[in-house]
Amino acid sequence: MAVSVLVGVQWGDEGKGKIIDVLTRDAEMVVRFQGGNNAGHTVEAEDRKLVLHLVPSGILREGTACVIGNGVVVDPIGLMQEMKGLTDQGISVANVQLSDRCHLIMPWHKLLDAYNEGKAAPGKKIGTTKRGIGPAYASKANRTGIRGVEILNKSRFETLFRAEAAEYNKLYPAHGSELLDVDKAWEEMSVAIDYLTPYVTDTTVSINAAYKAGKSVLLEGAQGAFLDIDHGTYPFVTSSNTTSGGACTGAALPPRAISNVWGVLKAYTTRVGEGPFPTEQDNEIGSFLQNKGGEFGATTGRPRRCGWLDIVGARYSCMVNGVDLLAVTKLDVLDELDEIKICTAYKINGEIRENFPADTTLLDHVEAIYETLPGWKSDTTKAKCWEDLPEKAQKYLLRVAELLDAKIGIVSVGPDRDQTFRTA
Handedness of CA 140, 211, 7, 95 (dihedral sign): negative
58 vs 211, beta carbon nearer ligand IMO: 58
Contacts for 73 with CB less than 8 Å, ≥ 6 apart: 35, 36, 102, 103, 104, 105, 132, 133, 136, 137, 140, 240
Of these, 107, 134, 148, 415, which contacts ligand IMO (CB under 6 A)?
A: 134
Task: Verify binding: residue 3, ligand GDP, rule CB under 6 A.
Answer: no
Task: Verify binding: residue 247, ligand IMO, rule CB under 6 A.
Answer: no
Of these, 6, 7, 12, 211, which contacts ligand IMO (CB under 6 A)?
A: 12
Q: Which residue in the list 21, 26, 41, 365 is annotated as catalytic?
A: 41
AA letter at 48: R
Q: What does 18 bind: Mg ion, ligand GDP, ligand IMO, none (CB cut-off 5 to 8 Å by kind)?
A: ligand GDP
Per-residue buried b or exposed e for 124-157, using 16+ beta carbons within 10 Å of the residue's own CB: ebbebbbbbbbbbbebbeeeebbbbbbbeeeeeb
| Nearest distance from C-beta of residue 392 to Mg ion, angstroms | 29
**What is the distance between the alpha carbons of residues 178 and 171, in angstroms, rounded to a whole number?**
11
For the question of residue 379 being annotated catalytic, the response is no
Task: Verify binding: residue 384, ligand GDP, rule CB under 6 A.
Answer: no
Subset of residues 320 to 359 that bind ligand GDP, contact rule: CB under 6 A = 329-330, 332-333
**What is the DSSP track for 278-294?**
TTB--SHHHHHHHHHTT
Stretch that binds ligand GDP, among 40-48, 161-169, 189-197, 198-206 (CB under 6 A): 40-48
- Contacts made by residues 187-194, CB under 8 angstroms, sequence distance 24+: 188/77, 188/107, 189/76, 189/77, 189/106, 189/107, 189/157, 189/161, 190/154, 190/158, 191/77, 191/80, 192/76, 192/77, 192/79, 192/80, 193/76, 193/151, 193/154, 193/157
18 vs 315, beta carbon nearer Mg ion: 18
Of these, 35, 36, 56, 415, which contacts ligand GDP (CB under 6 A)?
A: 415
For the question of residue 41 being annotated catalytic, the response is yes
| Nearest distance from C-beta of residue 255 to ligand GDP, angstroms | 24
Task: Verify binding: residue 238, ligand IMO, rule CB under 6 A.
Answer: yes
Q: What does 44 bind: Mg ion, ligand IMO, ligand GDP, none (CB cut-off 5 to 8 Å by kind)?
A: ligand GDP
Q: How many CB atoms lie within 10 A of CB 297?
A: 17
Binding site for Mg ion (CB under 5 A): 13, 40, 298
User: What mask of x and - would describe binding to ligand IMO in positions 34 to 53, judged by CB under 6 A?
Assistant: ----xxxx------------
Task: Verify binding: residue 36, ligand GDP, rule CB under 6 A.
Answer: no
Task: Verify binding: residue 413, ligand GDP, rule CB under 6 A.
Answer: yes
**What is the distance between the alpha carbons of residues 217 and 28, in angstroms, rounded to a whole number?**
6
- Contacts made by residues 84-92, CB under 8 angstroms, sequence distance 24+: 84/195, 86/50, 86/55, 86/59, 89/48, 89/50, 91/50, 91/59, 91/60, 92/62
Contacts for 187 with CB less than 8 Å, ≥ 6 apart: none
DSSP H or E run through 341: strand 339-348
Task: Verify binding: residue 15, ligand GDP, rule CB under 6 A.
Answer: yes
**What is the distance between the alpha carbons of residues 217 and 202, in angstroms, rounded to a whole number?**
17
Of these, 24, 34, 37, 42, which contacts ligand GDP (CB under 6 A)?
A: 42
| Nearest distance from C-beta of residue 266 to Mg ion, angstroms | 11
| Nearest distance from C-beta of residue 397 to ligand IMO, angstroms | 22
Subset of residues 259 to 298 that bind ligand IMO, contact rule: CB under 6 A = 272-273, 298
| Nearest distance from C-beta of residue 271 to ligand IMO, angstroms | 7
Residues near ligand IMO, by CB under 6 A = 8, 11-13, 38-41, 126-129, 131, 133-134, 222-224, 227, 238-239, 272-273, 298
Residues near ligand GDP, by CB under 6 A = 8, 12-18, 40-42, 44, 294, 298, 329-330, 332-333, 412-415
Positions annotated as catalytic residues are: 13, 41
